[in-house]
Chain A
Amino acid sequence: MQQTRKKTILKAAVCLVLLAAALIGLRNQQYLLTLLNFVCMYMISVSGLDILFGYSGQISLGHAAFYASGAYTSALLTTKLGVPVWLAIPAACLVSLALGIIVALPASKLIHHFLALLTISVGQLVYILISRASFTNAMTGIRSIPNIPLFGYELKSKYFFLIFMILMVALFLIIKQCIIHSRVGRAFQAIRENPVAAGGIGINVQKYKIMAFAISAVYTGFAGAMYAHFVGFISPETFTSAQSVMFMTMLLFGGMGSFSGPLIGAAIVTFLNETLQVLGSYRMMVYGAFILAVLLFLPHGISGLIDIVKQSLFKNRGKEDRHADA
Chain B
Amino acid sequence: MLTLDQATIQFGGLTAVDHVSFTVEKGQIFGVIGPNGAGKTTLFNLVSGVHKLTSGSIRFLDKEISGLEPYRIAESGIARTYQNINLFSNLSVLENVKIGRHIQSRSGLAAAIFRTPAQRREEAAIQDKCMELLTFMGLESKADLPAKNLSYGEQRRLEIARAMASEPQLLLLDEPAAGMNSTEKVELTEMIRNIRNMGITILLVEHDMKLVMKVTDLITVLNFGKMIALDTPQKVQNNPEVISAYLGGGIDA
A residues contacting B by CB (< 8 A) are: 175, 178-179, 182-187, 189-190, 193-194, 196-205, 211, 215, 317-320, 322-325
Q: Are B71 and A178 in contact (CB under 8 A)?
A: no
Beta-carbon contact of A179 and B74 below 8 Å: no
In the complex, A323 Cα to B87 Cα: how many Å?
Answer: 13
Q: Interface majority SS on A: helix, strand, loop or mixed?
A: helix
Nearest CB on A from B24, distance (A)? 18
Chain A, residue nearest B103 (CB): A202
Closest Cβ of chain B: how far from A296's Cβ, in Å?
A: 22
Chain B interface residue count, Cβ-Cβ cutoff 8 angstroms: 43
Bound CA span A192–B90, Å? 10
With A179-B112, A198-B88, A201-B102 known, 14 other A-B pairs at CB within 8 A are: A178-B112, A182-B111, A183-B102, A184-B107, A184-B112, A189-B88, A194-B88, A197-B82, A197-B88, A201-B79, A201-B103, A202-B71, A318-B92, A323-B90
Cross-chain contact B86 with A196 (CB below 8 angstroms): yes
Q: B249 near A: Cβ within 8 Å?
A: no
Interface centre among A175, A189, A199, A320 (most CB of B within 10 A): A199
Q: Is B64 an interface residue (CB 8 A)?
A: no
Decide yes or no whether B91 CB sits under 8 A from chain A.
Answer: yes
User: Is B105 a contact of A183 with CB atoms below 8 Å?
Assistant: yes
Q: Nearest Cβ in chain B — how far from A186, in angstroms?
A: 5
**Contact at A182–B112, with CB atoms within 8 Å?**
yes
Determine if B25 is an interface residue (Cβ-Cβ < 8 Å). no
- Partner among A189, A205, A318 whose Cβ is within 8 Å of the Cβ of B145: A318
A190:B115 contact, CB within 8 angstroms: no
Nearest CB in chain A: distance from B8 CB, A: 22
Whether the pair B90, A322 counts as a contact (CB closer than 8 A) is yes
Give the residues in chain A near B83, CB-CB below 8 Å: none
B112 pairs with A183, CB closer than 8 A: yes
What are the residues of chain A within 8 A of B74 when measuring CB–CB? Answer: 199-202
Interface-side segment among B53-61, B93-101, B195-203, B211-219: B93-101
Set of chain A residues within 8 Å of B98, measured between Cβ atoms: 186
- Could you list some 19 contacts between A and B, CB below 8 A? A182-B119, A183-B126, A185-B112, A186-B98, A186-B99, A189-B91, A190-B99, A198-B99, A200-B86, A201-B74, A201-B166, A202-B71, A202-B74, A202-B75, A202-B103, A203-B99, A204-B71, A323-B91, A325-B90
B132 within 8 A of partner (CB): no
Contact B108 A184 (CB under 8 A): yes
The reply to whether A199 and B166 form a contact with Cβ atoms under 8 Å apart is: no
Asked whether any CB of chain A lies closer than 8 Å to the CB of B207, the reply is no
Given contacts A196-B86, A200-B86, contact A179 B71 (CB under 8 A): no
Residue of B nearest to A191 (CB): B88
B68-91: which have CB < 8 Å to A? 69-71, 74-75, 79-80, 82, 86-91
Return chain A residues, CB-CB under 8 Å to B69: 199, 204
CB-based closest 4 A-B pairs: A182-B112, A202-B74, A193-B88, A202-B103
- Closest Cβ of chain A to B150, distance in Å, is 14
A107 to chain B, nearest CB (A): 18
Residue of B whose beta carbon sits closest to that of A320: B92
A238 to B121, CA, bound (A): 45
Which residues on A sit within 8 Å (CB–CB) of B122? 183
Q: CB within 8 Å of A: which of B129-169?
A: 144-146, 162-163, 166
A202 cross-chain contacts in B, Cβ below 8 A: 71, 74-75, 79, 102-103, 166
CB interface residues, B 8-36, toward A, < 8 Å: none
Which residues of A have CB within 8 Å of B66?
Answer: none
Do the beta carbons of B48 and A200 come within 8 Å of each other?
Answer: yes
